Amino acid sequence: MKKIFLLSCLLVFSVPLAADELRVAVATNFIEVMKQLVKAFEQQSGHKVVLSSGATGKLYAQIKNEAPFDLFFAADEQRPLLLEQEGIAVPASRFTYALGKLVLWSPDAGYIDDNLTVLKGQRFRFLSIANPATAPYGRAAQEVLEKLGLWDELQGRMVRGENIGQAYQYVYSRNAQLGFVAKAQVFRGGEFDDGSYWQVPDDFYSPIIQQAVLLQDSAAARALIEYVRSPDAIALIESYGYDVAGDSPLLSRHE
């Protein structure tokens, strides 16, 4: 009888927990927004979500190596598409959840002006960017510097973060005097944080189309996707400076 009782307890307590816990891989630029989205989602749904953040390229490599994620929120469209083509992602689940924006930022007020005097005059010791090989925001920063004719010239003054979070930390801690960061890292509720900044024009870099894809199909995972696409979630994402037009075809599923 004791064995039957223990087996019954295991069945009662283990199955719902396994079914209701999601593991979600999130690109570093979106982690703060995702934490807020997940908090609201957990309260509404009762599901539990465990987040792991990192550079999109590194998360993609982990997923390829069978890391047990249910969903992947990337900072580009390339890796979700590859996962779909490679048969790892659930077919027809890929969609765009945000369009990222790049900003040159310094915590020091008045340091960066619209003429980029500091950057072009190299009046700094270090410039921080994310690694272009693994982070889409780093690749965008490289494109901007190439357009300005400064990429080769500034090689000796650049520090590269493993991801956009680390690139931001280099500047925030003043180990670098300025850096290219995600707008969402220095923008809250319609206003920029203290310091100075240059909003990089959209035509200076390729669009940062951030897509998500389903890796393990479940009702809980699909519920999270639907919540991220809800009006409340979109309003929160936009409040961090992302472009998420409600009628944009980029928000549709990519069949």
pLDDT band at 245 (very low <50, low <70, confident <90, very high): low
Q: 153 pLDDT exceeds 70?
A: yes
For the cut 80, the answer to whether the pLDDT of residue 138 exceeds it is: yes
Quick check: 252 pLDDT over 50? no
Pairing of the two strands 158-161 and 127-130 = parallel
Measured distance CA(180)–CA(159) in Å, rounded: 11
On the question of pLDDT at 247 being above 60, the answer is no
DSSP label at residue 56: H
Q: Which amino acid, one-letter code, is at 175?
A: N
State the Cα–Cα distance between residues 6 and 3, nearest whole angstrom.
5
Order of strands across the sheet that contains 208-214 = 48-54, 21-27, 71-73, 208-214, 95-100
Determine the Cα–Cα distance for residues 111 and 178; give it in Å rounded to an integer. Answer: 9
The closest of 74, 89, 192 to 139, measured between CA atoms, is: 74
Q: How many angstroms separate the CA atoms of 73 and 59, rounded? A: 10
- pLDDT, mean over the chain: 89
Q: Say which residue the tokens 């390829």 belong to.
A: 64
For residue range 105-121, list pLDDT tens digits in order. Answer: 999 999 999 999 999 99
Over residues 176-200, the pLDDT tens digits come to: 999 999 999 999 888 899 999 999 9
Can you tell me the mean pLDDT for 9-30?
67
Global pTM reads 0.85
Q: What distance in Å separates the CA atoms of residue 199 and residue 227, rounded to the nearest whole number?
A: 30
Of 113, 109, 119, 118, the C-alpha closest to 195 is: 109
Q: Which residues neighbour 234 within 8 Å (Cβ) at sequence distance 6 or greater?
A: 244, 246
> In this predicted model, what pLDDT tens digit does every residue of 43-72 receive, in sequence order?
999 999 999 999 999 999 999 999 999 999
Per residue in 194-215, pLDDT tens? 999 999 999 999 999 999 999 9
Domains of the chain with bracketed CATH: 2-100+207-251 (3.40.190.10), 102-199 (3.40.190.10)
How many of the other CB atoms lie within 10 Å of CB of 124?
17
